[in-house]
A = this chain, B = another copy of it.
Amino acid sequence: MPTPADRLKELGIELPVAPQPMASYVPTRTVPIGGGRALVFVAGQVPVVDGQVRHVGRVPDDVDLEEAREAARICALNILAQVEATAGLERVEQVASVSGFVRSASGFSEQPQVINAASDLLVEVLGEAGRHSRAAVGVAELPRGVSVEIAAVFVVSQA
């Protein structure tokens, strides 16, 4: 069975360095739950690439659907980078939940199509383990004006 590293290579994706938090918090918190497993709470990730925010604005007025999907995909890459840094992607047993926030212009209701770009990437990289429960909502504003923010809870096996 292919590992997450195999799948990333096949997809031609190089995982970014896990972004530093933008403020007074830590990017992940690992909570053991017995049986050699732990929950990993991943802080809300935004579309930051090499330390620069991308895809700033409301969907679809400032940022169209395709660009918003790219923003969501970057959020998912940053989530994967955080889990790689704290636990290693090969230890992921499940993705428990994904919370997706889309900065939405009045009347925009395609939050699911935006967050799908993140959900699909998680499954492409993690296989069956990447399938997750999810909530997607449209919010008025997001930190630094970004168009998408995504938080997640993973389940990992511990050494």
Contact = CB atoms under 8 A, between A and B. Distances in A.
Contact of A44 (B26, B96, B134, B139): B134
A65 interface: no
Chain B CB within 10 Å, residue with most, of A24, A28, A97, A151 = A24
Contacts of A110: 143
Nearest to A115: B23
A121 to B, nearest CB: 10
A95 B29 contact: yes
Interface in A16-33: 21-29, 31-33
Interface in A78-115: 94-99, 101-102, 104, 106-113, 115
A142 B94 CA distance: 26
Contacts of A109: 141-145
Interface in A26-74: 26-29, 31-35, 37, 39, 41-44
A149 B31 CA distance: 24
B44 A39 contact: no
A110 B144 CA distance: 7
Contact of A43 (B25, B113, B135, B149): B135
A77 interface: no
A38 to B, nearest CB: 10
23 contacts: A23-B113, A23-B136, A25-B119, A25-B134, A29-B97, A31-B33, A31-B94, A31-B155, A33-B34, A34-B34, A43-B97, A44-B135, A97-B151, A101-B137, A102-B141, A104-B140, A106-B141, A108-B141, A109-B144, A138-B140, A139-B139, A139-B140, A140-B140
